Amino acid sequence: MSTPHKLSQLAETLIGSEIVKLGADIKERIRQGARVYNFTVGDFDPSIFPIPIKLQQQIEKAYQEKHTNYPMAEGNLDLRQALQAFIKQYQGLNYETSEILVASGGRPLIYTIFRTICDAGDKVVYAVPSWNNNHYTHFVDCTHVVLEATAENNFMPTAAELKPHLTGATLLALCSPQNPTGTTFRKEELEAICDAVLEENAKRGPNEKKLYVMFDQMYWHLTYGNIKHYDPVSLRPEMKEFTLFVDAISKVFSSTGLRVGWGMGPVPVIAKMKSILTHMGAWAPMAEQKGLAEYLTDFPSIDQYLTTFKSEIHHRLTRIHDGLLQLKKDGFPIDAIAPEAAIYLTIKVDATGWKNSNGEVLANQAAVTQFLLNEASLAVVPFFAFGSKKENPWYRLSVGTCKKEEIDEMLGKLRKALSGLKKS
């Protein structure tokens, strides 16, 4: 057996994705013939949620026209112009093409934001549960300032919680609608957070780093009922100097595999992000850029697609939410937060210490997660995978691959499994 090679500090200390680990277990079970209700993946089943047909046609046309070479490093001009109009139409924000950077999805943009703004040892403030902030902070060897958000606030951090930690911080990572919770910032709370950021930056001298906000709004089109999306720049125009948006077609158009994302922010930061992205080569494919540039100008088609798409997602979230609340009403250790946005439902299975049908005690939350998979064939992602404590009883349930005809079946199997539990 060969001696292991010594690798970089990053490689040796990087923690793998808990979601990927769970997904591998589920795939193996399915491969072996097991029936699993897989609500783990933040993705879509294209047979249930296809991309917009007109977007597909425009991309196919771009390939037929041989648009297969390198795109511009900052994103093709026609796409940035289309994004400029799209952002103005749907968000009411005015951004010049020089303030927009295109990449292969949101991840390269997030990474380049961290790389552009943060030095080793800088303070990065973020709340958990949240998607991958812990990993990106580790990538750039920064100091983690972590707040544990609570169910009382729908797992969204408050200004009162954040403000004491902003002194000397370099980056504040925010996400709304939130992954994994599917919840959103209320207007007054986000205004208070913006005011705290502006107040902190006003204290800093001309040669000091400013505090920037990374605002991940990947799911912002997917809000339901009376829920409205708010962003820092719309609420406080002065925040434009300190805000870096992350957005993409991944969720709004069920286009996770097409890999087109964009960032918006002040020119000096966007220009440096472009330089880093150039060395990474993480550009969105040329044909997808060309096709999207054409599609984004067709506002009626976009509106029509979103009306149907959102209705189908909301229907699934609501039915599952209502079913879980009925289980709660019937005395089972289940709870759920009303769906607000995205493709996620926040659910609680607080069964630690209970005994299963074999008389075995579910000693910890990991045992509860395994119980759900073994006894109810239900696969959901524990908030532990999003940076929360291991004993957090809350989970993310994603409906991107959910067939409507399976919902009652899943709820029935869950009820049967929970009926076998007894308090120890």
Q: How far apart are CA 67 and CA 290, in angstroms?
A: 8
pLDDT at 29 (0 to 100): 82
Domain 53-298 matching CATH 3.40.640.10: the answer reads yes
**Both tokens assigned to 66:** 């041989």
Note the helical H segments in 267-406: 267-280, 286-295, 299-329, 365-375
92: number of Cβ within 10 Å: 10
Confidence of residue 25 (pLDDT cuts 50, 70, 90): confident
pLDDT digits (tens, 9 = 90+) for 58-88: 999 999 999 999 999 999 999 999 999 999 9
Q: What is the DSSP letter of 241?
A: G
Q: How far apart are CA 330 and CA 309, in angstroms?
A: 32
Return the C-alpha torsion angle 202, 207, 211, 213, nearest 10: 110
Degrees to nearest 5, angle at CA 82 with 80 and 83: 60
Residue type, position 260, single letter: V
pLDDT digits (tens, 9 = 90+) for 327-354: 999 999 999 999 999 999 999 999 999 9
Q: Token match 């599609």: residue? A: 295
Q: Each residue of 28-58: b (16+ CB within 10 Å) or e? A: ebeeeeeebbbbbbbbbeeeebbbbebbeeb
Confidence of residue 12 (pLDDT cuts 50, 70, 90): confident
Residue boundaries of the structural domains of the chain = 9-49+303-423, 53-298
Domain 9-49+303-423 matching CATH 3.30.1550.10: the answer reads no
pLDDT at 3 (0 to 100): 57
Q: How far apart are CA 347 and CA 37, in angstroms?
A: 15
Asked if the model's pLDDT at residue 1 lies above 60, the reply is: no
pLDDT at 245 (0 to 100): 98
pLDDT digits (tens, 9 = 90+) for 233-283: 999 999 999 999 999 999 999 999 999 999 999 999 999 999 999 999 999
- What global pTM score does this model have? 0.95
Q: How far apart are CA 334 and CA 415, in angstroms?
A: 10
pLDDT digits (tens, 9 = 90+) for 362-391: 999 999 999 999 999 999 999 999 999 999
Degrees to nearest 5, angle at CA 338 with 335 and 339: 125
Average pLDDT, the chain: 95
Contacts of 302 (CB under 8 A, 6+ apart): 52, 295, 296
**Rounded mean pLDDT, 299-316:** 98
pLDDT at 2 (0 to 100): 58
**Both tokens assigned to 289:** 């850029």
370: number of Cβ within 10 Å: 14
pLDDT digits (tens, 9 = 90+) for 85-117: 999 999 999 999 999 999 999 999 999 999 999
Q: What is the DSSP letter of 224?
A: -
pLDDT at 35 (0 to 100): 86
**Rounded mean pLDDT, 275-301:** 97
Q: Token match 């979103």: residue? A: 306
Q: How far apart are CA 350 and CA 394, in angstroms?
A: 8
Q: Are 283 and 277 in contact (CB under 8 A)?
A: yes
320: number of Cβ within 10 Å: 23
pLDDT at 55 (0 to 100): 98
- Sign of the CA dihedral with 38 first, then 130, 21, and 376 last: negative
Element (H, E) at 349: strand 344-349
Q: How far apart are CA 196 and CA 191, in angstroms?
A: 9
Element (H, E) at 31: helix 18-31
pLDDT at 307 (0 to 100): 97
